[in-house]
Amino acid sequence: MSETNPAAAAPQAEAAPHRYTAAMAADIEARWQDFWAAEGTYEAPNPKGDLAGAPALAARPKKFIMDMFPYPSGAGLHVGHPLGYIATDVYARFQRMTGHNVLHTLGFDAFGLPAEQYAVQTGTHPRVSTEANIENMTSQLRRLGLGHDKRRSFATIDPDYYKWTQWIFLQIFNSWYDEEANKARPISELVAQFESGERPVPGTTRAWSALGETERADVLGRYRLAYASDAPVNWCPGLGTVLANEEVTAEGRSERGNFPVFKSKLRQWNMRITAYADRLLDDLDELDWPEAIKLQQRNWIGRSEGARVDFPIDGERITVFTTRPDTLFGATYMVLAPEHPLVEKFTPAAWPEGTHEVWTGGHATPAEAVAAYRAQAASKSDVERQAEAKDKTGVFIGAYATNPVNGERVPVFIADYVLMGYGTGAIMAVPAHDTRDFAFARAFELPIRCVVEPTDGRGTDTTEWKDAFASYDARIVNSANDSVTLDGLGVVEAKARITEYLRGEGLGEGTVNFRLRDWLFSRQRYWGEPFPIVYDEDGIAHPLPESMLPLELPEVEDYSPRTFDPDDADTRPETPLSRNEDWVNVTLDLGDGRGPRKFRRETNTMPNWAGSCWYELRYLDPHNSERPVDPEIEQYWMGPREGMPHGGVDLYVGGAEHAVLHLLYARFWSKVLYDLGYVSSAEPFHKLFNQGMIQAYVYRDSRGIAVPAAEVEERDGAYYHQGEKVSRLLGKMGKSLKNAVTPDEICAEYGADTLRLYEMAMGPLDVSRPWDTRAVVGQFRLLQRLWRNVVDEATGEVTVVDVPEADVDVDTLRALHKAIDGVRQDLEGLRFNTAIAKVTELNNHLTKTGGPLPRPVAEALVLMTAPLAPHIAEELWRRLGHTDSVVHRDFPVADPAYVVDETVTCVVQIKGKVKARIEVSPEISDEELEKVALADEKVVAALGGAGIRKVIVRAPKLVNIVPA
């Protein structure tokens, strides 16, 4: 090994031939990595099946520790990528040393846009480039010494894996949500209810048996948890695909590529995640997740309690959703979303007599005004729409509805500040108590009626109001009719009373509305899981039978997506799979007793999120060919237990950017599989931890162009590149900013153990911080000193002395056991930075003490280091004479007798300022300590004869004296 490394081959200075150098680290690390691979050190036994075994390990309590798996990008890794992987590895190693059977592995999320775009750029087939990237990344990661169970690794593009992704899709397709049971059930049970008449068939008076096949398919499509529908979707011509709401930014652009996104009506697959809105919200309470992420999910789900209220119009009714039914008496007009389907129906031929001029938009007829406004609204991108958010636009449709509680005629408008996608797409406008309605009412000179008494002294006459009064903490006024009055009630009571009244009158009901929309699940891409769906000649979708899975991606000549002018909203997507007619048109026997028939295949593919929706389950039982995961194995690793009522992975570490995408989708799939009885865990990830980002300085020249960070020099607090002054800013690390540092170069310069220590020592795991290559050497020095404390640099001999722990001097034992105690707590709490500080402190203490280390101290030190720097720990452990690996050794346990000092320093304060320190016994009583403190000469001097008003004693650490 050393022959291939010139640095290692060069005769090192005679002074220290056995010094811990980069060359030695490289040698040690390679040897132990080979050893671990050969021994299967990190293999975690299952309770049964092909991965069963190692009974001693299998009998231990389990820990399932997981990273968010990576996209195998073509760019390779920089030092920011492995931060989380190192953290979980340290934690997993610590858990192995504290009596757990630890499952820790890593796979690859290899379908999807990034992998595909790289393939398109390089002109290679996605499978070829993706597999090469996986191989490259695997070898980069191997160099870090991560303790993964390799047998459990897979990529989402493996047909053996996506067979089950497709299978789960079919389970979802073949399920419906039973609102009464509050869970998903097989669609066959719904059909049985229709057949028996137990449940009436919606939308028809006819019996189930009287319906044709297409009609039945349509009915079931309204229940299935995976369904195709024609709805306005996010169409991104620049990417050539439709996108989920979660993938579109607030500016109305694609998260990836930043192209414009348009609303376009297209037939697409959806997942009925909205059926789970309540459970996705409620179950958050039981999860050990960062509050910020929980909050983001809560906001995304967006539960609002309110009421539906019907406004009669022309013998029909328009239903609105409101969270403020208490202000119903103040509703002076209505607004529908421009695309609301009822608009045409109520738009009359001519403007009613005396229609206000500003309401018509200057158009001759209502139909003209509506058409013009709709065209204008549709052409506006979301960006423009938002930029103009303050200026309210809209147009009167020429019709009046009736306010159901006071019988007043209220004009009906369309305006783009009302969104079709939220609530019922229609609102009652209460301008006095809603900021948006207020702005609209002022613009269109609509009446503003105060029904909530302002508490800020402005009075109930709204003519001079500058803005709406939207407070909840106030009393209702001007709100009574012959049968109900809200006057004098608080907002909460008023809501309850009016809702009750509306229900009684058949005018509305209390309801809960969600912001969450169904999940758009199809993409016009090649590089994704094909849908296991075929269409018969009537266009009815049929699931493929399980025996036809996996439905593999066909080889096609042209796998690139058909993209368009990013700004051309009138384009239509084209699926790459549709280019292969031989694959699309098939004759199949679906096993439904109807023999071979002609079908067309679904040519959309699944989104890149599909593969990551259930991968935690496959790690458990990766080779199972009968089912996604064996229930007994799933129960062992992920089943509910004390403190985790929904079960799940014990620790899941990844970036916060997946707060509402992957993490929401995976929870949804989990719940469907749970409802259908395939798994015992209703949540995939019990504890979630978001690691921070490793940032890097970006240096730009006077033109604003990034210059290579490695070539920048610092002089007197300024930065120079080739003599030119450059500016410095903190940013992301990456190739484009010319500031990427790779793990490979740090490993070459110092070794993997140093890199691991540095990344963990930089600061708390959840905080973002800048990378500083110069500072890495500090952790290298720690390892050198550790090495020197055990091995003689000149001779290579181990220098420890064999003495029993009882003979070790007490100061050293105190330092040791305090460190053990602290490091244990820090590792358990993922505070790796302070754990390393404590190891460093102990090591420095031992260095200063001088002389050979007593064996019990050296061994404990090595074991404590093992989770953080596993290679050097293995090497020293072996040199200390052991033949086994440190990996499954017990982590040292602190002896409480040595964790407390014999004497402690007690601080004596006067009015909170430290005036004296005295050495006292840790067992000293409050009374005794007070006496000693008051007798101290410095204290006496500081008091200067002043009397004492009060003495606070916190034995044995502190006395605080308050003079009179």
Partner RNA sequence: GCGGCCGUGGCGAAAAGGCAUACGCACGGGCUUUAGGUGCCCGCGGGAGUGAUCCCAUGUGGGUUCGAAUCCCACCGGCCGCACCA
Contacts (CB under 7 A) with RNA, residues 340-399: 385-386, 388-389, 392
Kindly state the smallest distance separating residue 830's Cβ from RNA, in Å: 11
Q: Which of 243, 401, 836, 939 binds RNA (CB under 7 A)?
A: 836
Instruction: Judge contact between 184 and 675, C-beta under 8 A.
Output: yes
In the bound state with RNA, the residue whose beta carbon lies nearer, of 534 and 688, is 688
Kindly state the smallest distance separating residue 420's Cβ from RNA, in Å: 7
Can residue 466 be called a binding residue for RNA (CB under 7 A)?
no
d(CA 413, CA 428): 10
User: What Å distances lie between residue 30 and 25, 27, 82, 741, 747, CA to CA?
Assistant: 8, 5, 19, 22, 11
Can residue 21 be called a binding residue for RNA (CB under 7 A)?
yes
Can residue 917 be called a binding residue for RNA (CB under 7 A)?
yes
User: What Å distances lie between residue 395 and 296, 357, 373, CA to CA?
Assistant: 35, 10, 7
Token pair 């008023």: residue: 494
Q: Which of 18, 515, 721, 889 binds RNA (CB under 7 A)?
A: 515
Kindly state the smallest distance separating residue 218's Cβ from RNA, in Å: 27
In the bound state with RNA, the residue whose beta carbon lies nearer, of 119 and 747, is 747
In the bound state with RNA, the residue whose beta carbon lies nearer, of 21 and 270, is 21
**138 Cβ partners below 8 Å, 6+ apart?**
none
Q: Which of 299, 379, 585, 795 binds RNA (CB under 7 A)?
A: 299
Kindly state the smallest distance separating residue 660's Cβ from RNA, in Å: 6
d(CA 26, CA 23): 5
Kindly state the smallest distance separating residue 116's Cβ from RNA, in Å: 24
Kindly state the smallest distance separating residue 18's Cβ from RNA, in Å: 12
Can residue 296 be called a binding residue for RNA (CB under 7 A)?
yes
End-to-end Cα separation, the chain, in angstroms = 76
| Footprint on residues 726-785 left by RNA (CB under 7 A) | 749-750, 761-764, 767-770, 772, 774-775, 777-782, 784-785
Kindly state the smallest distance separating residue 896's Cβ from RNA, in Å: 16
Can residue 964 be called a binding residue for RNA (CB under 7 A)?
no
| Footprint on residues 310-329 left by RNA (CB under 7 A) | 321-324
Give the long-range contacts of residues 583-588, CB within 8 A, separation 24 or more.
583/554, 583/556, 586/534, 588/534, 588/544, 588/548
Kindly state the smallest distance separating residue 783's Cβ from RNA, in Å: 10
C-alpha 106: how far from chain center: 17
Can residue 958 be called a binding residue for RNA (CB under 7 A)?
yes
Kindly state the smallest distance separating residue 735's Cβ from RNA, in Å: 20
| Footprint on residues 598-617 left by RNA (CB under 7 A) | none
Q: Which of 231, 383, 656, 803 binds RNA (CB under 7 A)?
A: 656
Give the residues across from 77 on adjacent strands.
none
In the bound state with RNA, the residue whose beta carbon lies nearer, of 434 and 529, is 434
Stretch of residues binding RNA (CB under 7 A), selected from 161-169, 561-569, 621-629, 831-839: 831-839
Instruction: Judge contact between 727 and 697, C-beta under 8 A.
Output: no
Stretch of residues binding RNA (CB under 7 A), selected from 415-423, 530-538, 556-564, 571-579: 415-423
Q: How many residues bind RNA (CB under 7 A)?
A: 93
| Footprint on residues 221-260 left by RNA (CB under 7 A) | 250
What string of H, E and C letters represents the secondary structure of 332-356?
A: CEEEECCCCCCHHHHCCCCCCCCCC
Give the residues across from 266 on adjacent strands.
231
Kindly state the smallest distance separating residue 425's Cβ from RNA, in Å: 6
Which helix (H) or strand (E) is 262 found in, with range? strand 262-271
Can residue 914 be called a binding residue for RNA (CB under 7 A)?
yes
Kindly state the smallest distance separating residue 254's Cβ from RNA, in Å: 13
Task: Tell me what percent of the chain is helix, strand and coil, each rounded to the nearest 5.
Answer: 40, 20, 40
Stretch of residues binding RNA (CB under 7 A), selected from 42-50, 113-121, 134-142, 843-851: 843-851
Q: Which of 144, 284, 418, 709 binds RNA (CB under 7 A)?
A: 418
Which helix (H) or strand (E) is 229 found in, with range? strand 226-236
Q: CA 822, 824, 827, 832 torsion: positive or negative?
A: positive
Kindly state the smallest distance separating residue 389's Cβ from RNA, in Å: 4
Can residue 852 be called a binding residue for RNA (CB under 7 A)?
no
In the bound state with RNA, the residue whose beta carbon lies nearer, of 660 and 712, is 660
Q: Provide the strand spans (E) within 470-612.
A: 508-514, 519-520, 533-535, 541-543, 585-589, 596-601
For residue 594, the number of C-alpha atoms closer than 13 Å in the C-beta half-sphere is 9
Can residue 847 be called a binding residue for RNA (CB under 7 A)?
yes
Which helix (H) or strand (E) is 116 found in, with range? helix 113-122
Q: Which of 837, 880, 899, 932 binds RNA (CB under 7 A)?
A: 837
d(CA 809, CA 828): 29
Can residue 207 be called a binding residue for RNA (CB under 7 A)?
no
Q: Which of 466, 594, 703, 911 binds RNA (CB under 7 A)?
A: 911
Contact characters 782-821, RNA, x per CB under 7 A: x-xx--x---------------------------------
Can residue 882 be called a binding residue for RNA (CB under 7 A)?
no
Can residue 332 be called a binding residue for RNA (CB under 7 A)?
no
Provide φ and ψ at 905, rounded to 5°: -85, 120
For residue 310, the number of C-alpha atoms closer than 13 Å in the C-beta half-sphere is 15
Kindly state the smallest distance separating residue 466's Cβ from RNA, in Å: 15
Task: Count Cβ atoms below 10 Å from residue 821 Cβ, excluding itself.
Answer: 18
State the amino acid at position 401 in one-letter form: A
Instruction: Judge contact between 752 and 744, C-beta under 8 A.
Output: no
Kindly state the smallest distance separating residue 692's Cβ from RNA, in Å: 8
For residue 441, the number of C-alpha atoms closer than 13 Å in the C-beta half-sphere is 27
Stretch of residues binding RNA (CB under 7 A), selected from 363-371, 403-411, 657-665, 674-682: 657-665
Can residue 330 be called a binding residue for RNA (CB under 7 A)?
no
Kindly state the smallest distance separating residue 637's Cβ from RNA, in Å: 31
| Footprint on residues 140-169 left by RNA (CB under 7 A) | none
In the bound state with RNA, the residue whose beta carbon lies nearer, of 711 and 772, is 772
Q: 369-401 burial, b for 16+ CB within 10 Å, e for fewer?
A: bbeebbeebeebbbeeeeeeeeebbbbbbbbbb
d(CA 496, CA 904): 63
d(CA 359, CA 333): 12
Can residue 1 be called a binding residue for RNA (CB under 7 A)?
no
Q: Is the peptide bond before 856 cis (omega within 30 degrees of 0)?
A: no
Q: Which of 274, 339, 909, 930 binds RNA (CB under 7 A)?
A: 909
In the bound state with RNA, the residue whose beta carbon lies nearer, of 118 and 780, is 780
Q: Which of 11, 13, 587, 945 binds RNA (CB under 7 A)?
A: 13
Can residue 921 be called a binding residue for RNA (CB under 7 A)?
no
| Footprint on residues 568-587 left by RNA (CB under 7 A) | none
In the bound state with RNA, the residue whose beta carbon lies nearer, of 188 and 386, is 386
Give the residues across from 713 on adjacent strands.
720
d(CA 763, CA 204): 64
Instruction: Judge contact between 226 and 521, C-beta under 8 A.
Output: yes
| Footprint on residues 434-463 left by RNA (CB under 7 A) | 434, 436
Kindly state the smallest distance separating residue 934's Cβ from RNA, in Å: 15
d(CA 425, CA 372): 19
Kindly state the smallest distance separating residue 566's Cβ from RNA, in Å: 21
